[in-house]
Structure 1
Amino acid sequence: MILLQANNVMRRFGADVLFHDVSLQIQEHGRTALVGRNGAGKTTLLKMIAGITTPDEGTISKTKDLTIGYLAQDQGLDSQNSIWAELDLVFAPLHKMEKEIHQLEDQLAKLDPNSQEFQITTETYSRVQAAFKKRGGYEYQSRMRGILKGFGFEEADYQTSINSLSGGQKTKLALAKILLQEPGLLILDEPTNHLDMNVLAWLEDYLKSYDGALLVVSHDRYFLDRVVSDIYDLDNHTLRHYSGNYTQFMHHKREWLKAEWKHYDQQQKKIAKLEDFVNRNIVRASTTKRAQARRKQLEKMDKMERPEIDDRSIHFQFHSDKDSGNEVLDVDHVTIGYQQQKLAGPLSFNVRKSQRVGIFGSNGIGKSTLLKSILGRIPLISGTIKLGANLEIGYYDQEQQQLHPEKSVLNEVWDDHPNVPEKDIRSLLGSFLFVGDDVYKKVSDLSGGEKARLELTKLSFKPINFLILDEPTNHLDIDSREVLENAINEFTGTVLFISHDRYFINQVATDVLDMHADGIIHYEGNYDDYLQAQAKVPTSSEPTTKAKSVPSSAQQSYKQSKETQRARRKIQRQVDQLEKQMTDLENQQQEIQEQMSKPEIATDIGKLSDLQKQLDQLNAQSEEVELEWTSAAEKLEKFDQENS
């Protein structure tokens, strides 16, 4: 059954159209995701569906009595109440019924059991008690405790005032409250922000078994893979529906685009053929009728629009001027904290050249403090940290405190490299989507995503062989996250990073560190490898190596999917690199041919002979590279066919 339906919805901002002809259906018990780039209009569309705003054109209809719960991005509770008292407000109707039950019990105690009034009151009591039970009157407290525990709150926290909590804790409580309300349609905008991995895993399991329907916006691809079963893609100002989770959606979208281009090209060839016939035959008496018929055929043809997607994306790479030594970092029995107030320790681990080491752990455990201690920005309470030789360190700060709020985007980069021409700085900023007047924006006026891109811009400009990243995917949309993953995978240096983005960790990590208050545990491999080890190895604060374990069928299927994606990306990178080589060689050949055509060289046999030798060498290289490219492209096509 369809719970909610949007038909031909449009939203304008002045003369600009944000999206148009948007149609969407939410099915009963559906698990639906809305994906798209930052700025595509996802939150705007959610607010329309939630009934907070209305569309400029089109309609949104819903079934009678459908209750909708909407949680905005980073929307936290603002209340003077304690945690327990605030969540208990959800059950005010139950408390009213409970009070009525007690009143009826008092009445029954005073009435003669043989009286008619006693009989009537008993029937009322039974009816109210049955309704109370049906609505969960005897389970609501256990539900509250279960959800609070799922979000990481212990019983000792229940009487804590909400206004004394952090922003992240308030956001978790807002989500907890809306889950307790159990609306028929749950609309969540980026619900995974501020959640550590344990809470994320719990939330995913909770939402999968949720009785109502779910509509969610999220950049967390791991979450989308585990929870949703259909996806609406808001791209190029319109909406397209795909069945399946995120990984399946990406495959289907590639196939759709491939098919659309094929049909478009076929139609363009047919149009060109018809137009050519008309042009050649319209003036000839013997063929003019056939030409006129072809012209009418052209006029009646439903011409396809050129297939387009919004493929604007950042593009960059990290680079280094020199190699580091093999021993990049040694952390030995380190205790971290502020002003001798311990957060975590003792912590011991090593990082070696070319490793990509991911750190994860509960919120507030001190992960960011650890990175700042490694960089010497916060003093250690105890222990030693040894950095290796020849290190060029690049640091990404999730709080973006390295940016100057009063500077313009242009000056934020240019002031660090005053000898570089402005056009080169602007070209670099353009590769991070800062174009036109964007470069004159003040840093303080930028969104979180824009600040993240600006910090990555600065990192990509400087030579680095040891990259330290603190939650680099926060504020980035999915496309930007994928570009960052490619940049890290192609980086020849060493990477140490903090992330709660499990998909990101799976794509880039060679090793992971599970951080606790009393130690840190090393696992070889990525997040899925860590899960497999966890299935067999008991929890311990002592460092250990990855245990061999038999994964569950679900883990095995998921891991196989990820391995398939990694294998495809490896072949795709090879194809892309060979294409770049072919282009470079063609440019070199063209330059030599242009030199050979110059009058002063055309008459110089010696120079012509030297240039011809260079050209012959380039031609031979081109042939070799083209053969390699053909082989790689065929391999990629075969891979796609086998895994479609």
Structure 2
Amino acid sequence: MILLQAQQVARHFGADVLFENINLEIQDNSRIALVGRNGAGKSTLIKMIIGESEPSAGNIARKKDLTIGYLAQNADISSDRTIMDEMLAVFDYLQDMEKQIHQLESAMANPDADHQSPEYARILKQYDQLQHDFKEQNGYGYVNEIKSVLHGFHFEEADHDRLISSLSGGQRTRLALAKLLLEKRDLLILDEPTNHLDIDTLTWLESYLQSYAGALLIVSHDRYFLDKIVNEVYEISHNKCHHYHGNYSQYIDEKAQRLQQEWKQYEKQQVEINKLEDFVNRNLVRASTTKRAQSRRKQLEKMDRLDRPEGLEKGPHFTFSTKKNSGNLVLTVTDAAIGYNGNIISEPIDFEVRKNNIIAVVGPNGIGKSTLLKSILGQIPFIKGSSSFGTGVEVGYYDQEQKNLNPQKTVLNELWDEHPTTPEYDIRSILGSFLFSGDDVLKSVASLSGGEKARLLLTKLAFRHDNFLLLDEPTNHLDIDSKEVLEQALLEFDGTVLFVSHDRYFINKVATSVLEITPEGSQLFLGDYDYYLEKKEEAELLKQAKEDTSHSITEKQVSTGKVNYQQSKERQKQERKLQRAVDSFEKEVEKLDSQKSNLEIEMAQPEVATDLGKLTDLQKQLDELTTKLAQAEEAWETASLELEEFLER
């Protein structure tokens, strides 16, 4: 069943077009991601969908009585209630039904009631119906459902009587999402729902949403999350919208194929147009060929000309580099305890950071990951223990709270004031590489969005050329394209990195080691995020083995876990090998196709068309290229089919 349709929707600001001709359809079981760069219009479209604003053109049709739940970025709850009372309010209708049931039970238990009367029969019928409805709507289990959802968001029973007004902003945001899930709307719209969630909570949320009964429309920069949840992607780009089937990774592949096909069709048509125009120009004035020239001109006039395919939108491009090398030992943390006001939240913390390592710090919210970075920097003292930097270490710090920015300054002065001897042209140049160009550099820092502030902080960091970067949630507020640029910049960095993140895709892409922080202290895993998960799974199986009374069974469990993981790794390895083959053949096809197009254009030139000898040589080259292209396309199709069959197994 169709819940909602957006038809030819547009948003104009005067003569400026944010987007137009947007078509979107949401079925009752849809799992949709809405993606696009920051500023592309995702939030604007969502406001139209929920009825908060009207489109400049087009219309949005909704199913009658459609219920929509919407979680805006950084939304929270303002309430004087306790956590549990706020969640119970979602089920007021069930509590009312329960009261009616008790009232009817009292009426039926009345010793003066006439069991043969029509009134008593009416009460019995109403009681049976209420009992049925109450049971069908989980009347006997909604309290446990509340507790389960609250537990998923790290609100334990001891927290249930806490006043919402006493919670932090992040906690209130998590509570707003928990309440929205309990409301079970027909359509659930989530704008960056993974903000403020740690990895354990993200995993729980993924599992919950996979079985959600209604439709989902999600805006998120968390690629790992989107891969787990969605099976459709709508992308807003270049003021238009494209629809793709599959999860995020499949969307990336399909988009690349679509662009390749569009370029192929466009270039083929351009060759045809050039041939026709050349013939018309050479033959229109000749008496013997005028009619043929006129015929071709009509053919040109009737041709439905393809627009030039739009390439990738302009994104940031930057690198990190060092002014000088550090020693091999960059940082040592010894027997440390972190916390506030003498209250220890994690100990003992012991680890070393070696030159050129990229270490991710992970752990649940509130465990002290950001505190650890601030303690290393000396901003918050260790409660116990110490840390020390190695020889020649120069530290750059990215603060997720963005307190390193002065809201009173302009973008230009925020950077220039720290480097006053640098020419303005050079300052503007590096700001431009982070997408601050023209009058953008004269904006006040206070007026910037979260994503713009994040890019400005990265600009400042890149301009310092430190050899040891401490990054606290560097991907927060960044769109996916900016994240990919940051990933590449860190992978090419000739220094050392210690970063806190809950972005699992980002961690897996850049980290060489994972440092886990728990109340019991720290543990270093010498591998990427997948390796970290493998070791955690093995540890959990071994823990079960110790608790199980049958040693032979638990050994089998541990062995099975390792075998399953190894099989998974082998499958991933084979998939990467097949994908590389497909990519290689695809590049060869693109190269040969481009060479063929260039050759055809050259052959259509007037000076070549009249030179029989040269035209013969070029035709021979064209025939050879055509043969090679056909072979390359066949190889690409075979490799693609092999990959497709492998993925289906």
TM-score by length of 1: 0.86
Structure 1 distance, partners of 2:155, 2:340, is 24
Structure 2 distance, partners of 1:550, 1:26, is 41
Structure 2 distance, partners of 1:539, 1:398, is 35
1:216-227 residue pairs with structure 2 within 5 A?
216-227=218-229
Corresponding residue to 2:307 among 305, 310, 315: 305
Residue of structure 1 equivalent to 2:214: 212
Structure 1 distance, partners of 2:636, 2:517, is 42
Shift of 1:103: 0.8
Structure 1 unaligned spans of 5+: 542-546, 576-632
Is the 1:507–1:566 Cα contact (8 Å) retained in structure 2? no
Q: Tell me whether 1:514 sits opposite 2:516 in the alignment.
A: yes
Q: Deviations over 1:330-367 (max 9, x none)?
A: 11110112332323221111111111100011111111
Structure 1 distance, partners of 2:266, 2:19, is 23
Structure 2 unaligned spans of 5+: 544-558, 589-631, 645-649
Is the 1:324–1:390 Cα contact (8 Å) retained in structure 2? yes
AA partner of residue 50 (structure 1): I
Larger deviation, residues 377-386 vs 253-262: 377-386
Q: Is the partner of 2:264 in helix, strand or coil?
A: helix
Is the 1:192–1:220 Cα contact (8 Å) retained in structure 2? yes
Residue of structure 2 equivalent to 1:22: 22
Structure 2 distance, partners of 1:539, 1:472, is 33
Is the 1:36–1:235 Cα contact (8 Å) retained in structure 2? yes
Structure 1 distance, partners of 2:569, 2:207, is 18
Corresponding residue to 1:296 among 295, 298, 304: 298
Structure 2 distance, partners of 1:557, 1:27, is 37
Residue of structure 1 equivalent to 2:57: 57
Residue of structure 1 equivalent to 2:355: 353
Residue of structure 2 equivalent to 1:466: 468
Is the 2:487–2:510 Cα contact (8 Å) retained in structure 1? yes
Shift of 1:15: 2.0
The alpha-carbon distance between structure 1 residues 297 and 557, as it changes in their structure 2 partners (threshold 3 A), is farther
Shift of 1:405: 1.6
Structure 2 distance, partners of 1:428, 1:640, is 42
AA partner of residue 438 (structure 1): D
Residue of structure 1 equivalent to 2:10: 10
Shift of 1:319: 0.6
Q: Is the partner of 1:549 in helix, strand or coil?
A: helix
Is the 1:320–1:392 Cα contact (8 Å) retained in structure 2? no
AA partner of residue 528 (structure 2): N
1:230-245 residue pairs with structure 2 within 5 A?
230-245=232-247
Residue of structure 1 equivalent to 2:250: 248
**RMSD, aligned CA:** 2.7
1:353-392 residue pairs with structure 2 within 5 A?
353-392=355-394
AA partner of residue 482 (structure 1): E
Is the 1:235–1:309 Cα contact (8 Å) retained in structure 2? no
Shift of 1:395: 1.2
Is the 2:512–2:527 Cα contact (8 Å) retained in structure 1? yes
1:376-525 residue pairs with structure 2 within 5 A?
376-525=378-527
Residue of structure 2 equivalent to 1:605: none
The alpha-carbon distance between structure 1 residues 570 and 20, as it changes in their structure 2 partners (threshold 3 A), is closer
Q: Is the partner of 1:529 in helix, strand or coil?
A: helix
Shift of 1:254: 0.9
Structure 1 distance, partners of 2:387, 2:582, is 36
AA partner of residue 132 (structure 1): F
Residue of structure 1 equivalent to 2:88: 88
Q: Is the partner of 1:372 in helix, strand or coil?
A: helix
Structure 2 distance, partners of 1:493, 1:32, is 39
Count residues with an aligned counterpart: 580
Residue of structure 2 equivalent to 1:108: 108
Structure 1 distance, partners of 2:335, 2:583, is 38
Q: Is the partner of 2:540 in helix, strand or coil?
A: coil
The alpha-carbon distance between structure 1 residues 554 and 473, as it changes in their structure 2 partners (threshold 3 A), is farther
Q: Is the partner of 2:428 in helix, strand or coil?
A: helix
Q: Tell me whether 1:549 sits opposite 2:562 in the alignment.
A: yes
The alpha-carbon distance between structure 1 residues 449 and 15, as it changes in their structure 2 partners (threshold 3 A), is same
Shift of 1:65: 2.8
Is the 2:335–2:347 Cα contact (8 Å) retained in structure 1? yes
The alpha-carbon distance between structure 1 residues 339 and 121, as it changes in their structure 2 partners (threshold 3 A), is closer
Is the 1:8–1:21 Cα contact (8 Å) retained in structure 2? yes
The alpha-carbon distance between structure 1 residues 571 and 469, as it changes in their structure 2 partners (threshold 3 A), is farther
Structure 2 distance, partners of 1:365, 1:201, is 18
Shift of 1:554: 10
Q: Deviations over 1:507-535 (max 9, x none)?
A: 00111011112211221222222222222
AA partner of residue 339 (structure 2): G
Shift of 1:62: 2.3
AA partner of residue 102 (structure 2): H
AA partner of residue 472 (structure 1): P
Residue of structure 2 equivalent to 1:138: 140
